Amino acid sequence: MNTEIERKFLVADLPDLSGTEKAVVRQGYLTAPDDSTELRLRQKNDRFFLTLKGSGAMVRVEREAEISAEQFDTFWPETEGRRVEKERYTGRLPNGHVFELDVFLGDLAPLRLVEVEFETESGAKSYIPPDWFGTDVTADKRYKNKMMAINGAPD
């Protein structure tokens, strides 16, 4: 079973992003707002994905398949009213962990979130973030992309 173990934080201060990889991302949700499982379409630059994410906060099931642009375009209209656009910067922290920093666009701007994935749940729990990370929002459902796509940025 594919499991995602990650923590999510607000960004207190933007770090130097010169050594990161940038992607323009748009994603939309095919599942209903009250469904605990997420079914998501994502365009990341010129690649397209269909992703299923299970319920949970720090640990949850994740399955992803790359799809064609035509398949993406077939289902994209069904995500109307449940979409997020962002720029994603992927880089490596001094301790070796990979981070993904999202700078949200459109109605969610100027929100910035950073995520770090882990091999183990104990590694995630014991993680000490760098100074540029802000408040830990891993367990705050308002900061899930699906919820923000539907409800907008948290207050």
Q: How many CA atoms lie within 13 A of 103 on its CB side?
A: 11
What are the distances in angstroms from CA 69 to CA 27, 48, 87, 130? Answer: 13, 6, 20, 37
Active site residue 89: no
From the list 29, 89, 127, 143, the catalytic residue is: 29
Which helix (H) or strand (E) segment holds residue 74: the answer is helix 69-75
- State in Å, rounded, how far the first CA of the chain is from the last one: 35
| 154: preceding bond cis by omega (within 30 degrees) | no
- CA atoms of 8 and 5, how far apart (whole Å): 10
Closest of 128, 154, 130, 132 to residue 141, by C-alpha: 154
Provide the annotated active-site residues. Answer: 29
